[in-house]
Amino acid sequence: MRVWRLVRPNFARDAYSGEGGLHAAGRWTPKGVRVVYTSGSLALAVLEVLVHLEIRHFPDEMRAVPADVPDGLRVRTLTARDLPRAWETIPAPSKLQEFGAQWIKSADSAILKVPSAVVPLEWNYLLNPAHREFRRIKLGRPQRFKFDERLIGKA
């Protein structure tokens, strides 16, 4: 399975370090938790970034960084049925961050598969860089990526 991250060029080298989670909270983890948010496709990674950008302001350039998860690596899956009602709302229910923090702490698996709040029929994957099995994930080379201006329409 291949997963993707879309990051600014200065973060490409450390895209899978989990350091970002130490400085910012996410839907699935509170601030201070080392975690790597990835998407099941580059297209979903684009949408996940777009929802957080200021309208009509794209970064000049990004890096798409793939990672290949080997078959047989344990993946814990959460479906919408496992989640609290209105899990996809903004702000996200705090229960999601509590669950993510507990998953990291438990070291249950290196990967947590969760539905995307942007496209609920698609999947995002949280990676635990401190998990002993994380080293089996093969990190790819960053590739140049530029947003197509049509994604935000004409000015």
Q: Which residues contact 141 (CB under 8 A, 6 or more apart)?
A: 65
User: Is 152 a residue whose pLDDT tops 80?
Assistant: no
Q: Report which of residues 132 and 53 the model is more confident about.
A: 132
Residue pLDDT, tens place only, 73-84: 999 999 989 999
Ordered DSSP codes for 60-79: S-EEEEEEEPPTT--EEE--
Confidence at residue 4, expressed as pLDDT on a 0 to 100 scale: 98
Contact criterion met (CB below 8 Å) for 18 and 57: no
Placement of tokens 């290196």 in the chain: 110
In the chain, at which residue ranges do the beta strands (DSSP E only) sit?
2-7, 36-39, 62-68, 75-77, 111-115, 123-127, 138-139, 143-145
Residue pLDDT, tens place only, 12-35: 999 999 999 999 999 999 999 999
Tokens found for residue 81: 């049925």
* Whole-structure pTM value: 0.93
User: Is 58 a residue whose pLDDT tops 50?
Assistant: yes
Report phi then psi at 138, rounded to 5: -90, 115
Percent pLDDT > 90 in the chain is 85
Contact criterion met (CB below 8 Å) for 62 and 81: no
